[in-house]
Amino acid sequence: MKDINQETRDIYHAQHSRMLSDEKTRKRLMDVQVNEKFFKLPKGFFKGRKVLDAGCGSIARNAISFAKMGAEVHAMDIGDNWFKTARKNVKKSGLASDSINFINGNVIDIPQEDQVFDFVCCDGVLPHLADEKQVIKTLENLCKVTKQGGYVFFSYFEAGGLIETKLNDATRDFYKENGEFKKLIDNIKPSDLHELIDFVFDHLNLNKVEVPNKLRGTLKDLLDEDLCISIQNTYQCKKRECYDSLWINNILANNGAASPKRLKRFIYRNNIRKFFSPFHYYHANKFTKILYGEGWIDCISKKTN
């Protein structure tokens, strides 16, 4: 019987494979800012450095960015069925297929020696681990394999906010309970969303409600393959937990890492989610506080001892 981490890996492999098969979605993901400026590190920092991307995913987006900056990159995730998919994206990104060392490994038991990496990345993994014990173990391991003076980058959801801690929880429960909703999400494609738009507009017209017909096309343009994968990402994952930043920071402190600095990057999207990007970037906004609390947190910590 598969454990929850393996199940999660299989789910994300399917989603990442779908991302890779749609060039618009793939390009949008690969254009997400991953460079020295984002990490607030000196220009040229990664050249010749040894980097671990722990929980790299099947498209290995961050690993590819590190390799392009001249790093020696080791990209790790559970199993090896994702290697072929990752190498395909490496090649599509203009790198040699063997330019990144792919590793079968789990963040709760990283198969590397202590203090060997100048930079360790663990992006989007913590919220999907089985429980708090695994989160603690993962943070311990990330610090353990990082050299003194090196850096650990990781991300997670901060507890609080209407959408992540209330609405998403309720609709994820509905996904588990309602077979029709689950079937829709598991097979969702743009044509399903376009069918919904047509139903609304056709019946507004039938009942003589005036709406600009060009709005129909505009809305359809905002409901694309990338959005469908994002919807699956929200509902299909086995765990999607929020954590308190003070709790996270205390674990780091106990493992020789300095208090993390929060990083910011504006995420550009082509679909309807573009209208939510300002909320994810401007954390102090009053509407952001209500909807997302502190929201998604990208942060970096220096290994001090």
Q: Are residues 156 and 195 in the same domain?
A: no
Q: Are residues 179 and 56 in the same domain?
A: no
Sequential DSSP letters for 233-262: HHHHSS---EE-HHHHHHHHHTTTBPPPEE
| pLDDT confidence of residue 159 | 87
Lookup: tokens for 62: 């961050």
| pLDDT confidence of residue 1 | 60
Cα(245)–Cα(12) distance, rounded to whole angstroms?
A: 25
Amino acid at 259: S
Q: Are residues 122 and 224 in the same domain?
A: no
**Residue 199's domain spans which residues?**
166-235
Contact 23, 50 (CB under 8 A): no
Q: Are residues 61 and 175 in the same domain?
A: no
pTM of the predicted structure, to 2 decimals: 0.95
Q: Place 305 in a pLDDT band, splitting at 50, 70 and 90.
A: confident
Q: What is the CATH number of the domain that holds 155?
A: 3.40.50.150
| pLDDT confidence of residue 270 | 95
| pLDDT confidence of residue 97 | 83
Contact 275, 269 (CB under 8 A): no
Contact 141, 109 (CB under 8 A): yes
Cα(255)–Cα(303) distance, rounded to whole angstroms?
A: 8
Last-in-domain residue among 220, 235, 250: 235
| pLDDT confidence of residue 46 | 98
Q: Are residues 229 and 245 in the same domain?
A: no
Q: Are residues 209 and 263 in the same domain?
A: no
Q: Are residues 150 and 67 in the same domain?
A: yes
* Number of domains the chain contains: 2
pLDDT digit string, tens, across residues 174-193:
999 999 999 999 999 999 99
Mean pLDDT computed over 205-230: 96
Q: Are residues 229 and 250 in the same domain?
A: no
